[in-house]
Amino acid sequence: MFLQADFVLKNVMEINLDEMRQKGIKGFIFDLDNTLMAPNTGFFTEEVKAWLDELMKEFKVAIVSNNPIPSYEKKVREVINMPIYFKAGKPRRKFVKEALLELGIDPKEAAMVGDRPLTDIWVGQRLKMVTVLVDPIRKKQEHKIVKFLRSLERSFVKNAGSY
């Protein structure tokens, strides 16, 4: 089995918004950790924050995260002004569907963006969303076992590049 992300990029800021408009995209569902912010930090870089602010002027945006830590959830909610779902259990579709419903858009009008093929990309594909695979923010600082597991996971994704 191979997963095929529609787009494979270095980071979220490489998303071509003109191309997304042409595909009929009206909203984005983002993973949180290693996609929009470094894991367990609870804050965006200035660059990502500015990009998100611009994105939200035209597109609807929500976050669906598998992170289960209540103290981290509280910290993140203080800096995020958009719908956010924690303990999502991706690739389960439940919370992505809820986010789409809250945003008022159909899955075919949304892009799923994340750093994990077997959670983020798979759930997006299961819902027939446009999928965007990005490199993890902390790619260079990850432990060797995490790098190995990501490499293995990406071996199931066509055109994902090397890790």
pTM score of the predicted model: 0.87
- Residue 117: give the domain boundaries: 7-154
The total number of structural domains in the chain stands at 1
46-63 per-residue burial string, b: 16 or more CB within 10 A, e: under 16: eebeebbeebeeebbbbb
160, part of any domain: no
Residue 135's φ and ψ, nearest 5 degrees, are -70, 145
15, part of any domain: yes
120, part of any domain: yes
pLDDT, position 162: 46
118, part of any domain: yes
61, part of any domain: yes
pLDDT, position 4: 84
Cβ atoms of 112 and 124 closer than 8 Å: yes
Sign of CA dihedral 144, 150, 154, 159: negative
Cβ atoms of 30 and 113 closer than 8 Å: yes
129, part of any domain: yes
- Mean pLDDT of successive 10-residue stretches along the chain, which has 163 residues: 82 97 98 94 94 97 96 92 96 98 98 93 96 82 57 59 45
SS3 111: strand
Nearest to 37 by CA among 129, 115, 144: 115
CATH number at residue 149: 3.40.50.1000
pLDDT, position 93: 98
163, part of any domain: no
CA angle (11 as vertex; 115, 118 as ends), nearest 5: 15
Distance (Å, rounded) from C-alpha 91 to C-alpha 124? 8
Residue 39, preceding bond cis, omega within 30 degrees? no
